[in-house]
Amino acid sequence: MISRELAIVLRARVTWIVAGLAALLVGHGFVLAVDLFTAGSRSVAGNVLMAREFDPLAGIVRPTLGGLYLAASLLGPIAAARAIAVEKERRSFGALVLLSGSHERVVLAKYLAALAGGWILLTGPLAAIAAWRAVGGQLAFRETVVALVGHGLYIALVTAVATAAAAWSRTVAQAATLAVVVVLASWAIDASEGFAALAWLGRLADWSVTTHLTPFERGILPLGAAAWMLSLTAGCVALSLVGARFDVARGRRTTLAMAVIAVTAGALVVSSRIHRAYDFTEAARASLPPAAVAGLRAITAPITLEVYLDRDDSRRRQMESDIIARLRLALGDIRIEYPLDGREAPSEATHDDGYGRIIVRVGGRHAETQSTSRREVTTLIFEAAGQPLPDWSQPAYPGYPLVVGRTARRALGVCAYIVFPGALFAVGFLVTRSKRRTS
């Protein structure tokens, strides 16, 4: 069964067209990232301190994977939905189920085959990474793999969404449209950060795929985010199994679907409460200094941070991406509270003298500050615990600035815009051509 489905997916023209277009988007992001990285590298020649800020993971890998994210979101559902939707549109799905003897076997085989086709999109970033290394660029292996794993999970999620959409639709067009709409719904939550009219969506930030994908791109492996994406993927696959049961009355299928959604929502809530994460970045640059991490883990009393900042305050976003993220890496059970989130209509005009406070509680003791400095907040934690701040020195990250010469830049452009997508188009042509000859 699985070999048949793989043959159908891999011999479909749309699979390779999507892969080629994805490689083109990835290549464009890669070339732009190289140009910016090169321009910045020229300005820090001979300055060791500034050179340490040149992180290829942030400067090269993340922009490159941005093209993959766009392609997987907009093009991935079109290819993934076809696995089931084509059978239903041709009215051969029922015969296939009867032939195999199981709805579950058919749906799971089609999902796995569509996933294999979706993971072809990863060849674009892999080729770009290889090209970067070929021109002398530096990339740490572990942090790069973590970033790729995150996007591999995202492709698995998009494929599951498309499979569910196909199971509940009748045509390829309906399935692809529904899948794209569901995927783009997460973008509305992300857009709430920049548009006041959408500020009310900020409360749903924990339900945004981007929120859970971002740590992977920073070289951090978050167990909660991985569990969240896997839970949602499993829920969508379960919805596919329910939607494909044409032998069950529509009312009962709807009831089963609601039950699956409820269970999935519960799993997502539980996953969001898992804060354990692991830092795989080079020199552990995403974490606090090693002595501080060891000291924090030695504190037995519960630690709580109360942050009196509104959700749309830039200082809060800076804290969440800096000190709070680092504290969670050191202490998976640290408790972060935002008392102002309980207000129905927060406004700058209502800020009192206590706005901006950060209260640190360790057991029965507490300390207070208005500074968002990671060292200041960490110092208060140790003071509240009755301990001095440990050694704050951290292994130096050397940074890897690189000026890509004109010849190498031209070669990268040719590879990104012609060679990489062209190779995928060529493979697709050969595979589909082979199919027509043997049919």
Distance of CA 34 to the CA centre of its chain: 22
Beta strands in 198-314 (DSSP E): 220-222, 277-279, 303-307
Q: Looking at 158-162, 215-219, 347-351, 427-431, which range is the least confident one? A: 347-351
Report how far residue 371's alpha carbon sits from residue 318's, in angstroms, rounded to the nearest whole number: 12
pLDDT at position 191, please? Answer: 62
How confident is the model over 318-324, as a mean pLDDT? 89
More confident residue, 310 or 140: 140
Number of Cβ atoms within 10 Å of the Cβ of 133: 12
Residue 121 has a pLDDT of 95
Q: How confident is the model at residue 91 (pLDDT cuts 50, 70, 90)?
A: confident
In this structure, what token pair is assigned to residue 209?
């795929």
pLDDT tens digits along 199-230: 445 556 677 888 899 999 999 999 999 999 99
What pLDDT is stored for residue 438 in this prediction? 44
Q: How far apart are the first and last CA of the chain?
A: 19
Q: Which CATH class is domain 287-384?
A: alpha beta
Which sign does the torsion angle of CA 75, 77, 83, 84 carry? negative
Torsion-angle region of 196 (φ positive above 0: left; ψ -120 to 50: alpha; else: beta): alpha
Among all chains, which residue has been given the structure tokens 């615990």? 385
For residue 3, pLDDT over 90 is answered with no
Of the candidates 126, 176, 115, 177, the residue with the CA atom closest to the CA atom of residue 148: 126
In the chain, % of residues over pLDDT 90: 56
Per-residue model confidence (pLDDT) at position 88: 85
- Please indicate whether residue 46 or residue 271 has the higher confidence score (pLDDT): 271
- Residue 317: pLDDT band (50, 70, 90) is confident
Q: pLDDT grade, residue 48 (50/70/90)?
A: low
| Per-domain residue ranges of the chain | 2-278+404-438, 287-384
Model confidence over 60-72: pLDDT tens digits? Answer: 999 999 999 999 9
Q: Tell me what the mean pLDDT of segment 3-21 comes to.
A: 89
Average pLDDT over residues 148-158: 96
Task: Label residue 20 by pLDDT band (50, 70, 90).
Answer: very high
Burial of 53 (0-12, 13-18, 19+ CB in 10 A): middle
Q: Which pLDDT score, from 0 to 100, does residue 349 have? A: 44
> pLDDT at position 327, please?
92
CA angle 368, 372, 374 (to 5 degrees): 100
| Single-letter amino acid code for the residue at 22 | A
Helix (H/G/I), strand (E/B), else coil: 34: helix
Coil/strand/helix, residue 221: strand
The pLDDT of residue 323 = 92
pLDDT at position 198 over 50: no
CA 149 to chain centre: 9
DSSP assignment of 67-135: HHHHHHHHTHHHHHHHHHHHHHHTT-HHHHHHHHT-HHHHHHHHHHHHHHHHGGGGHHHHHHHHHHHHT
Distance CA 308, CA 399 (A): 35
Instruction: Scan for tokens 């766009």, then name that residue.
Output: 70
Task: Tell me what pLDDT residue 193 has.
Answer: 56
Res 192: pLDDT: 58
Average pLDDT, the chain: 87
pLDDT for position 205: 66
Which one is predicted more confidently, 240 or 185? 240
Residue 348 has pLDDT above 60, yes or no: no
Q: How far apart are CA 23 and CA 30, in angstroms?
A: 10
Q: Return the higher-pLDDT residue of 169 and 2.
A: 169
pLDDT tens for residues 360-401?
999 889 899 988 889 999 999 999 998 999 999 988 888 899
Lowest-confidence pick of 75-84, 233-242, 341-350, 408-417: 341-350
Q: How far is CA 15 from CA 20, 71, 342, 435, in A?
A: 9, 12, 47, 14
Record the tokens describing residue 156, joined without a space: 């698995």
Look-up of token digits 């032998």: 247
Helix axes 209-217, 223-243, angle to 10 degrees: 140
Buried b (16+ CB within 10 A) or exposed e, 385-420: beeebbeeebeebebbbbebeeebbebbbebbbebb
Residue 197: the pLDDT is 44
pLDDT attached to residue 295 = 93
* CA 218 to each of CA 46, 119, 388: distance values in angstroms, whole numbers, following the listed order: 27, 21, 30
Residues 35 and 21: beta-carbon distance below 8 Å: no
Of the listed ranges 30-44, 211-225, 338-352, 407-421, the least confidently predicted one is 338-352
How do residues 277-287 score in pLDDT, each as one tens digit?
A: 999 999 999 99
CA angle, 261 then 164 then 72, to 5°? 110
